[in-house]
């Protein structure tokens, strides 16, 4: 059973429909026990990080998520704002605290760019995780974001990048955790395959790629 966290700040109908197409049962949950113990958990999110962080605290899910991802390494998918919650902080809010699993800060797009980035863009693999594997092949994904991570994650995390006014981290993964700035549930057949890979815990062998976020991708 896939447990989808009901934070109240995400439109999850398209995500539910994607799992239905994959014939995967799902359930909406606000239970810390579900978050700790379920085989698969999704942390979705749309909107403001302060509201999302407050919702996690009100539901008592902060420690459960940290335990699940950082300690137990159970299958977890973080989407859009859900990915941004993995970090320490965001320039969107001085007061909101992320989960602090990755010690980095999410930053605004430059002022001269139209925001949010809304629509399709390329996702290109940049670095496999510590085990030398990836979670998906290069593809096109649907984005809706005004903030992004510009710093490469710690070395044990694999990541992919996208270019919108400069390169940024559009996905990252380690162990059984996969985080996507884009929306795989809105990304056609490529996104559906990504979700299938996550559900089935499929990893792909990946050749060594340039690790600097500023380098042009060789993919």
Tokens of 17: 């429909």
Known catalytic residue at 183: yes
Does the active-site annotation cover 80? yes
- How far apart are alpha carbons 38 and 76 in whole angstroms? 10
Catalytic residue among 40, 80, 167, 180: 80
Q: Which residue has 């340039």 as its token pair?
A: 210
The one catalytic residue among 40, 167, 176, 183: 183
Catalytic, 167? Answer no
CA distances in angstroms from 77 to 67, 69, 178, 198, listed in the order given: 15, 10, 5, 8
Distance CA(181)–CA(106), nearest Å, equals 11
Query: How far is it, in rounded angstroms, from Cα 129 to Cα 164?
Result: 24
Q: Which residue of the set 40, 167, 176, 185 is catalytic?
A: 185
The answer to whether residues 43 and 62 touch, using CB atoms and an 8 Å cutoff, is no
Q: Are 146 and 115 in contact (CB under 8 A)?
A: yes
The set of catalytic residues is: 80, 183, 185
């Amino acid at each position: 059973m896939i447990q989808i966290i009901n934070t109240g700040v995400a439109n999850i109908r398209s995500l539910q429909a994607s799992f239905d197409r994959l014939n995967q049962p799902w359930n909406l949950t606000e239970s810390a026990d579900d978050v700790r113990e379920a085989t698969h958990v999704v942390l979705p999110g749309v909107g403001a990080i302060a509201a999302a962080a407050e919702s996690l605290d009100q539901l008592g899910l902060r420690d459960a998520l940290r335990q699940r991802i950082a300690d137990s390494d159970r299958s977890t998918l973080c989407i859009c704002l859900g990915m941004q919650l993995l970090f320490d902080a965001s320039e969107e809010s001085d007061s909101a605290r992320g989960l602090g699993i990755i010690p980095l800060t999410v930053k605004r797009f430059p002022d001269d760019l139209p925001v949010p980035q809304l629509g399709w863009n390329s996702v290109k693999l940049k670095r496999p995780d510590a085990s030398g594997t990836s979670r998906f092949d290069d593809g096109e994904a649907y984005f809706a974001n005004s903030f992004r991570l510009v710093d490469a994650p710690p070395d044990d995390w694999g990541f992919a990048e996208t270019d919108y006014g400069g390169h940024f981290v559009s996905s990252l993964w380690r162990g059984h955790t996969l985080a996507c700035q884009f929306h795989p549930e809105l990304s056609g057949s490529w996104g559906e395959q990504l979700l299938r890979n996550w559900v089935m815990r499929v990893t792909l062998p990946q050749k060594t790629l340039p690790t600097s976020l500023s380098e042009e991708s060789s993919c």
